[in-house]
Structure 1
Amino acid sequence: MTMTISSPIQLIYAGGTFGCYGRPLTPLAADVFLPTLQELMLSQDSATKLLSISWLDNALIKDSSQLTPSDFVHFYRLLLTAYTQGSRRFVLITGTDTLSYLGAFLAEAFAGSDICVVLTASMRPLLDSDVLHSYTIDTQSDARDNLHNSLKLAAAGESGVKVCFGGESWPAQTVQKIHSHDLMAFTGHSRAAYPANSYIKTLSDTRRNHWLDDQKALFTSIQARAKHTRIHALYCLPNDTDVINNQLQALLSQPPAGIILLGFGAGNVPYSVALAETLEQIHKIGHMVISASQCPFGGVSDSYAAGSWQYEHHVIAGGRLTIPAIYARLLWLLLRYDTPARRKQRWLNNIRQTGTSIKKR
């Protein structure tokens, strides 16, 4: 089927603060929330009334802090199925806690396609819980504007996975949450992590079908691996190196996993002979260790000897990727490829394509 820009926007409700109501706040079920949203907002807003919007059934409604790799795969499958059937434009309403992680994962999973996915959420519920006798939109909430802007962005149909929040939008792989309460809770940018060039502006039916065939052929194994895939984050603190070494040692008995090593500044990690030896052992088992910075911006570099030593022991530089983007890429590689060598090769290929690598001196 040839997909056109006139195809409806498929709206997916997945819970989160956006759809919470009552005391205590709890996500409303889809069969309650979606008709309410239609009645109070979509049918009343002059701009959204002009758009062709339909609902995509989704059974997974939960607080986003509870999402797991299997849940990420659920949304991947939901979108993939609809995309296979001819839909191209989607808006996904989720929660803010893991929005950046889910968005980055979907961006990895749909690279090479011409899908348009916009994720949004809100810091305050759409509905006013001070009014308990009927459903009323909270005029102080950011939910209405976030959804309105997301629908407009999806209507434009530009290929890629994006996050729309607080009046701005960014490629999903660059987004991170920077405030736990403020309505301007997220930020992102357009100059890292191949945000644009991993998508195809328009695909021929033949190329799209080939892409879809590749995805569908692997889905069963991806779904099975998601139940057991683990990604660990080890946070460097001003401790003796025995602390971080012991944490890594504890993973030696675990199946191959992803490990994010959160260093100081530009990725500096305290050195010890024991830690270097443990990294060698970790590599032999098949774990992928990615260096990241505790700083929200700037990423890692090898400018300091305090950080560069780790790259001689099979640690891979996370470059300018955010922590959610590193997590998402690790997760996708662990699900998509069946050997440590292929996962590492694919990561390094991504680096060469996007210029996010550390330049060796």
Structure 2
Amino acid sequence: MKKIALIYMGGTFGCIGEPLSPMPAENFIPQLQRVLPLHLHIECFIAPSIKDSSACTATDWLQLIQMIQGLQLKNYQHFVVIHGTDTLSYASATLARFLGQSAHVVLTGSQYPLLNVNGTNTREFTDAIDNLNFALDAVVTSSVGVYLAFHHQLIHAQTALKRHTTNLDAFVGLSAKENLITHQQSYVVHEHDLEKAQSFNCLSLMAQPIAIEQQIKNLKNLPQAPPHVVILQGFGTGNLAVNQEFIDTLHEIHIQGCAIILTTQVPFGTIDQRYAVSEWTQHAHIMISDCLGHADLYAKALKMYLQYDSIDQWHAHWHDSV
């Protein structure tokens, strides 16, 4: 029988009380074990970092990846992760980028807690049990890779997007039934990666329909203290109104050691180089997103940040299978 490592990382799934607050993990795990299906070989683990998912950062997910990679050395190959829904798409994309096809991994969560207010029994109405059972079934029946299981949908993790704040059918993305051609190479997380990730600074700027002079004014603040990455979310296929001053301002940011990546704020679809976006980008020292969604772009930027120290290396390896 395949053994499954069930890793608890917090979120609404493990909350109790009114208003909701997290139940201590060491108290929650015994309650969780009561509802697990008996026909599966499941062992429960507490993730290195337990917190509200809105507070999660790259370091938390890298610690989780490091834990999974450690369990792989103990002959675990099937993993289910319970995670909060706020940043579940980011967690899913990051695990997909770093684990690749090295294991069977399914992430899940819930819009309602598993337990009642007092934490003494299962809640009368909850999607937690349903989502968990679906994830446990998916992890032993699906092909190797990383997936998100939610409300009877199994989604390729890199494409997941939270589309509703409260509905049970909260996530959308490319179905696991559809072929996703990826060549992600797994990345073994070490302690120096955890230390470096603590400083990872990624800023996303969603373009608004304002005058280009105002866009430039906003950008001119960045060279004073540039982040490691600036993601420009353009309109449509990545279109932005630009002029020479706009391009020169991007160059000023670039020479400060900041990676500038152009993407689209549209949830689905990719940048299309047939449009006007293609001409100016060739002279602006920026990279074009080739990712499957915004969370996937974040995960790729994080991985590039850990792998390469100079922006020239980013440009040289941006379209490698990282």
TM over 0.5: yes
Aligned match of 2:319: 348
1:126 aligns with one of 114, 135, 141:
114
1:120-171 Cα distance to aligned partner (Å, 9 max, x none) = 0111111232xx3x62222421111110010011122631111111101111
- Which moved further from structure 2: 8-17 or 67-76? 67-76
Q: How many residues are aligned here?
A: 320
SS in 1 for 2:317: helix
Aligned match of 1:215: 188
1:46-66 Cα distance to aligned partner (Å, 9 max, x none) = xx2111000123242111000
2:289 aligns with one of 295, 314, 318:
318
Q: How far, CA to CA, are the matches of 1:264 and 1:275 in structure 2?
A: 16
The structural deviation recorded for 1:324 is 0.8
Give runs of aligned pairs for residues 2-151 of structure 1, distance below 5 A. 6-39=1-34, 41-42=35-36, 48-111=37-100, 113-129=101-117, 132=118, 135-151=120-136
1:188-245 Cα distance to aligned partner (Å, 9 max, x none) = 1159xx9454369xxxxxxxxxx7xx726xx133112111111100111111223332
1:251 aligns with one of 222, 233, 254:
222
Which protein is richer in helix relative to its size?
1
Q: 5+ residue gaps in structure 1?
A: 1-5, 43-47, 201-210, 352-361
Aligned match of 1:155: 140
The structural deviation recorded for 1:13 is 0.6
Aligned match of 2:166: 181
The structural deviation recorded for 1:256 is 5.9
Identity over the aligned pairs, expressed in percent? 33
1:22-73 Cα distance to aligned partner (Å, 9 max, x none) = 011012111111111112x11xxxxx21110001232421110001122122
- Cα distance, 1:221–1:253 mapped onto 2, change above 3 Å: farther
Q: 5+ residue gaps in structure 2?
A: none
Deviation beyond 4 Å, 4+ runs, structure 1:
none
Q: How far, CA to CA, are the matches of 1:57 and 1:294 in structure 2?
A: 35
2:226–2:253: 8 Å Cα contact kept in structure 1?
Answer: no
Aligned match of 1:170: 155
Root-mean-square deviation (CA, aligned residues, Å) is: 2.3
Give runs of aligned pairs for residues 275-314 of structure 1, distance below 5 A. 275-305=246-276, 308-314=279-285
TM-score (norm 1): 0.82
SS in 1 for 2:71: helix
